[in-house]
Amino acid sequence: MRSHYCGDINKSHLGQEVTLVGWVNRSRDLGGVVFLDLRDREGLVQVVYDPDLKDVFDIACTLRSEFCVQVKGIVHARPDSQVNSQMKTGEIEILGKQLTVINASAPLPLSMDNYQNNSEEQRLKYRYLDLRRPEMAERIMFRAKVTSSVRRFLDSNGFLDIETPILTKATPEGARDYLVPSRTYKGQFFALPQSPQLFKQLLMMSGFDRYYQIVKCFRDEDLRADRQPEFTQIDIETSFMSSEQVMEKTEQMMRGLFQDLLNVDLGEFPRMSYAEAMKRYGSDKPDLRNPLELVDIADLVKDVEFAVFNGPANDVEGRVAALRIPTGASLSRKQIDDYTKYAGIYGAKGLAWMKINDLAAGMDGIQSPVLKFLNEPIVNDIISRTGAQTGDIILFGADKANVVAEAMGALRLKAGEDFKLLEGQWRPMWVVDFPMFEKINGGFHAVHHPFTAPRGISAEQLAADPGVAISDAYDMVLNGCELGGGSVRIHNAEMQSTVFDILGIEAEEANEKFGFLLEALRYGTPPHAGLAFGLDRIIMLMTGASSIRDVMAFPKTTTAACPLTNAPGFANPVQLAELGIAVVEKVKTEE
């Protein structure tokens, strides 16, 4: 029905007759000539109908937005004065010779031009219309290009695309599982996978050596802007490769992706230990575009007569850190109060600060509510260590180390945005050398997951002092977002049992949940390592979208509903009886 896509017509087609199909993006009668902007997935082209061809012109006059039409016409060059350099097809127009309305459109239930006026709910209910907007369509098409590029890279590097089950057993990621009642085994349930973690490890045990899958994963969690009940991972696992080799290979993949699709050279990704990232940026996923850094000053304030500082400074779990914001002395009292509130969200109990109004004026040039606790040598040391200049402000965080990191890390990001300090467009990195465990309420928890191998120690050494063990794990971070993370996995049963012990997973529970994995580890399991990328987040970053909803064709609302299909819905009582379950509570939560 077509000879070309609309968006593909250009000067090389001058004089040719073309047949196009698409949607009326806009149609205007200007001085007795109808100008039709015809749209398909590849772009817009202008079609002109003049009254000489009366029958055709009359049809053109009836066109309204979003009619689906077929156009035949001759490609002409636009007069110089009408060339539109903003438009891919802006040098030409089609002189319309025929026009067929394939399917009319009723007036639209949402605005295509001023889409900002459409509520999120409307956009999702009429998703098929919202996706007609070029901005949305381009993101979905870009996504297809990304997956295609990733697949080509992995295929050509010997990775095998292998499917793992969706109906499976509860997985160990710790979030809430979606359950699926079994009909054959009444009273029992499948779980939808939070990731194919165990299956990909089993595939390595089978000897497939290099696996990948672009795969749906599921978490029944309360949603935030960048979370969806179902999301997509680029899931990778390899045998006989070190963490170094996995990082190298996947970095190469990501570099290729940015090169192919955005013409961006990401360069080599710097590596940074978890400890250094927390120290300098207060985050395990630092945004390196932001030049601000935290500076530790506990040693300087150990002896000041100010409990807020000297408490944490003398506490082995405490931390006192300074953050210098260039030109920040311009902040008003109100703005500093706002920063204090913001830090409070992340657990900071207050926010000490120091303005460097005039460096040359010595202590007279310094303004700070805590100045009375600090003497000149300390102030000078702080200024010198932070590199503060006249006109800067220094913010202080003093608390447990994790609170300082979180609050000062958040302030660092906020100040970077507020003062427009971000440098460079793309700043990838690897964060490595994570601790194996973190202590929460006196118990150890896995920082990655319970299958992550420690780096360079035996099971006995790990058991002896789990708190200091470093894992052989790695996270790829871009512009402060974690794109993906992975690790070398444990490949022998003794180490795996030791980790379960440390995590307080009883032998019986371990056996019930992961017995098949422990069993599988007994039969010549190869060393293996892998990684999973969050595809939705990668696309979101690459397209500059503000939500992962905007890079998925059919996302759900923040209450995990689909206004388009009205899912979820009530079930047929007969089917519930077949499944051996009953609804005990019917509450329709308001959105």
Report the C-alpha gap between 546 and 539 in whole angstroms: 11
Task: Mark residues 524-563: x for contact with a copy of itself by CB under 8 A, - for none.
Answer: xxxx------------------------xxx-x--xxxx-
Q: Known binder of ligand: residue 50?
A: no
DSSP string, 392-458: -EEEEEEEEHHHHHHHHHHHHHHHHHHTT---SS--EEEEE--BSEEEETTEEEESS-TTBPBSS--
Task: Mark residues 479-518: x for contact with a copy of itself by CB under 8 A, - for none.
Answer: ------------xx----------------------xx--
Closer Cβ to a copy of itself, 176 or 385, answer by number? 176
> Using the rule CB under 8 A, is 573 a contact of a copy of itself?
no
Q: Which amino acid is at 547?
A: S
Q: Any idea of the CA torsion for 470, 221, 508, 581, to the nearest 10 degrees?
A: -170
The residue within the footprint of a copy of itself, chosen from 44, 198, 388, 538 (CB under 8 A), is 198
| Residue numbers 42-81 binding a copy of itself by CB under 8 A | 66-68
**Span interacting with a copy of itself, options 174-182, 316-324, 387-395, 416-424, rule CB under 8 A:** 174-182
The residue within the footprint of a copy of itself, chosen from 205, 247, 462, 548 (CB under 8 A), is 205
| Residue numbers 234-273 binding a copy of itself by CB under 8 A | 239-241
Report the C-alpha gap between 546 and 504 in whole angstroms: 40
> Using the rule CB under 8 A, is 583 a contact of a copy of itself?
yes
Q: Known binder of ligand: residue 64?
A: no
> Using the rule CB under 8 A, is 347 a contact of a copy of itself?
no
Cβ pair 411, 342 in contact under 8 A: yes
Question: Residue 42 Cβ, how far from a copy of itself at the closest point, in Å?
Answer: 8
Written as six digits, the tokens of 398 are: 């003093």
The angle, 0 to 180 degrees and rounded to 10, between the axes of the packed helices 507-520 and 493-502 is 160
| Residue numbers 363-382 binding a copy of itself by CB under 8 A | none
> Using the rule CB under 8 A, is 571 a contact of a copy of itself?
yes
Q: Known binder of ligand: residue 381?
A: no
Q: Known binder of ligand: residue 549?
A: no
Report the C-alpha gap between 201 and 508 in whole angstroms: 22
The count of other CB atoms within 10 Å of the CB of residue 428 is: 19
Distance set, CA 170 to CA 21, 448, 503 (Å): 48, 18, 18
The residue within the footprint of a copy of itself, chosen from 51, 174, 568, 573 (CB under 8 A), is 568
Q: Known binder of ligand: residue 248?
A: no
**Span interacting with a copy of itself, options 105-113, 276-284, 287-295, 433-441, rule CB under 8 A:** 105-113
Cβ pair 142, 543 in contact under 8 A: yes
> Using the rule CB under 8 A, is 334 a contact of a copy of itself?
no
Written as six digits, the tokens of 530 are: 């892998």
Question: Residue 152 Cβ, how far from a copy of itself at the closest point, in Å?
Answer: 8
Pairing of strands 352-356, 366-367: antiparallel
Report the C-alpha gap between 504 and 521 in whole angstroms: 20
Q: Is the peptide bond before 134 cis (omega within 30 degrees of 0)?
A: no
Closer Cβ to a copy of itself, 334 or 523, answer by number? 523
Closer Cβ to a copy of itself, 422 or 576, answer by number? 576
**Span interacting with a copy of itself, options 48-56, 216-224, 252-260, 325-333, rule CB under 8 A:** 216-224
Residue 71, classified by CB atoms within 10 Å of its CB into exposed (0-12), middle (13-18) or buried (19+), is buried
Q: Known binder of ligand: residue 534?
A: yes
The residue within the footprint of a copy of itself, chosen from 77, 121, 128, 468 (CB under 8 A), is 128
Question: Residue 6 Cβ, how far from a copy of itself at the closest point, in Å?
Answer: 10
> Using the rule CB under 8 A, is 585 a contact of a copy of itself?
yes
> Using the rule CB under 8 A, is 1 a contact of a copy of itself?
yes
Distance set, CA 407 to CA 160, 221, 240, 333, 546 (Å): 43, 25, 40, 19, 23
Report the C-alpha gap between 563 and 257 in whole angstroms: 34
Binding residues for L-aspartate: 173, 219, 448, 489
Binding residues: 173, 219-221, 228, 448, 482, 489, 534-537
